[in-house]
Chains A and B, each alone.
Chain A
Amino acid sequence: MTARPAILFRLALRNLGRELRRSSLTAAAMVWGLALLIVSRTLSDGAHEDWIDSGVRLATGHIVFNAPGHRTSESLEDHLTGEQTAAALAAVRALELPEAALASVRVSTRGLASSPDGAIPVAIHGVEAGAELAFSRLGADVLEGRYLEAGDRLHAFIGQALALRLGLRTGSRMVLTAQSAAGEIEGQLVRVVGTFRTGLAELDESVVHIPLQTAREWLGVEGATTISTLLPHSSFTARALEELRARVAPGEIEITPWEESTPELHSAVRLDDGGDWVFHLILFAIVAMAILTAVFMSVLNRKRELGLLRALGLSGRETGWVVFIEGLMLTAAAGLIGIGVGFALVWIFFRNGLDLTGLMPQDFTFGGIVFDPVMYPVIEARHLLQSLFFTAVIGISASIYPAWQAAALDPADSVKVE
């Protein structure tokens, strides 16, 4: 630019001001586009985090420790020793995160639950009552009775559907049968202290929680089959995984992130994220078309003026800059307002959430997740910056073509346009 940029900026600014109605309409398209993008992005991030949180809490956490081979064999022979369990717990406690990570030590196996009414295959989890209550929140879904407590020994907390099928109630007794670490079939009599209902049939029909110590003694496992770790947020997974792998002896303990331990959950999130991107691309395209049309029309309408600028001493490139700066200013102004409007809407949803109760049946489940019909936004800086970056790129890109057209105008033809 040889002419002083201030002149070009002044011309661009006044041109926008002159076509205030058109500029405002274009800006409005951008403002609502960006605001919608921010709201949609934060709500979808909030929903995804909610899915991940509820999914990993009911499964094996954000990161899970196993003995090598246990994830495929599911055999009690492949369990973590007491020392390995202690080392893994120490590593979790040493994680440098904004909030402490939770860890739940479990001895899990498959077995049979029997009552006078019949026998059903079940997933048996020996758990520490206090830690598990904070972790899985099954205790929050108590339908009858209570969750396990410290000091419980021969007690069980079971799904409501399982209780119904076996004709059990709080206080009823049932027999659990499973293969021990030594390979023997062992039975254990337990008394039901409570039942839960999550809405997920596979959990409600088959999960049995018993005290960890009971499971260890019954099944002959000294340490644990899994240590599930819950992080403050799923976005810490990669970082925490790296730290844990660095701290715990590799090869002796297998450490797996939730994306691998619960692949169906990961797929559900990715699928939904893909859908969001398609929606966002459509939004981007609408915003781009709005800017392109408005700026391009203004070039066509001002052909004579742009030709005049050439006659007065601006080069083609500088004339193009005037138009490009108009597009930039429009993008910047609409971008700032759009961010303001977007965050104002997000703030409303922060307080009240977006209630979709009317749009989905109660206990709607997919991919091992129970969906909460009330969505709350989560601001993920990475996604927000991506949205702003793409909006800026689109605003700039949509201004390039009209600017190029302005730069390529024939000044002699343009000045005679009536």
Chain B
Amino acid sequence: MSTTSTPRPTSTSPPAAPVAVRTEALWKIYPQEPQPVEAVRGVDLVVERGAFLAMAGPSGSGKTTVLNLLGGLTRATRGRIRIEDREITELPDRELARVRMHRIGFIFQSYNLLPVLTARENAEFTLLLQGVSAAERKRRVHELFAEIGLEGMENRFPPKLSGGQQQRVAVARAVLGNPALVLADEPTANLDSATAEALLDVMQRLNRTMGTTFVFSTHDPRVMERAERVIRLVDGRIERVDVPGA
């Protein structure tokens, strides 16, 4: 992998494009005994709209915690987070849920589909919460399933789908609501090489065609190779930002 490195930056370069997410001096400290754990330590991050960005680092470096903070799944101890133009750091639970529903998509390592819903119902779940009409949901799911190779799988329940198919349903669910940001936590970790490549193809295509912003947390070199920028985290801090291929 060819990269350029900046020596221990505390933030990514200021982007020219509109901002999808911005963090300022973000800290997450878990109050544990005997000593509190500083999982994220003063992260400044700017992700422009339409970015395809990866966060890499050893286990325990804070990748998943940063993703959870960006997605409003956990609250920052200090610092600020803005999703597009919305400050989410202090939002009450209900408002934060609305932000997640409308502006953030999630893809998890272990697929995390709702087993009681079919592939179509899983994919359209966010649209359903957003109040999108049944006809519109059907149209969008149909189009996207065709695009990502899930045609004919609409009425299957998750246990009847392969790992790659389940992860594609998860991708569909993440992007169908037109979020400002899709957060993908180790999305290829449970997939074989060919399936992982195919899934990355799908996500990259959606990034290009729909302009969806993707932020990955990953160990997978295939993800890092495709990323426009790779943010290296060590001990909860941004160590450097690599630009693959540059």
Contact = CB atoms under 8 A, between A and B. Distances in A.
A311 interface: yes
Contacts of A314: 97, 101, 129
B189 to A, nearest CB: 12
A3 interface: yes
Given A4-B128, A412-B73, A311 B117 contact: no
Interface in A1-54: 2-4, 7, 11, 14-15, 17-18
B106 A312 contact: yes
B59 interface: no
B116 A11 contact: yes
A415 B112 contact: yes
Interface stretch (A170-178, A212-220, A277-285, A315-323): A315-323
Nearest to B116: A14
Contacts of B115: 18, 305
Contact of A412 (B68, B101, B116, B129): B68
A313 interface: yes
A418 interface: yes
Contacts of B129: 3-4, 7, 312-314
B85 interface: no
A304 interface: yes
A4 B102 CA distance: 15
A411 interface: yes
Interface centre among B65, B100, B117, B126 (most CB of A within 10 A): B100
A5 to B, nearest CB: 12
B100 A313 contact: yes
Contacts of B192: none
Contact of A304 (B102, B112, B126): B112
A313 B112 contact: no
Contacts of B126: 312-313
B100 A15 contact: no
B125 interface: yes
A416 interface: yes
Contacts of B110: 304, 418
Interface residues of A, number: 28
A308 interface: yes
A410 interface: yes
Interface in B130-176: 130-131, 173
Contact of A318 (B97, B102, B125): B97
Interface string B48-82: 00000000000000001100100101100000000
A310 interface: yes
B112 A4 contact: no
Interface string A310-352: 1111111110000000000000000000000000000000000
B33 to A, nearest CB: 18
A314 B112 CA distance: 15
A7 B128 contact: yes
Given A2-B94, A18-B115, A312-B106, A412 B74 contact: yes
A305 B110 CA distance: 11
Contacts of A415: 73, 106, 108, 112
B198 interface: no
A11 B116 CA distance: 7
Contact of B112 (A14, A308, A412): A308
A412 B126 CA distance: 18
Contacts of A416: 64, 108
Interface string A351-366: 0000000000000000
Contacts of B96: 315
A15 B117 CA distance: 10
Contacts of B101: 312-314
B98 interface: yes
Given A4-B128, A14-B117, A305-B114, A315 B93 contact: yes
Interface in B160-206: 173
B81 to A, nearest CB: 14
Interface string A57-71: 000000000000000
Contacts of A313: 97-98, 100-102, 126, 129-130
Interface of A: 2-4, 7, 11, 14-15, 17-18, 304-305, 308-318, 410-412, 415-416, 418
25 contacts: A2-B98, A4-B128, A4-B131, A7-B129, A14-B117, A15-B116, A18-B116, A305-B114, A308-B108, A308-B114, A310-B97, A310-B100, A311-B73, A311-B112, A312-B106, A312-B129, A313-B98, A313-B101, A315-B94, A315-B96, A316-B93, A316-B97, A317-B94, A318-B97, A412-B65
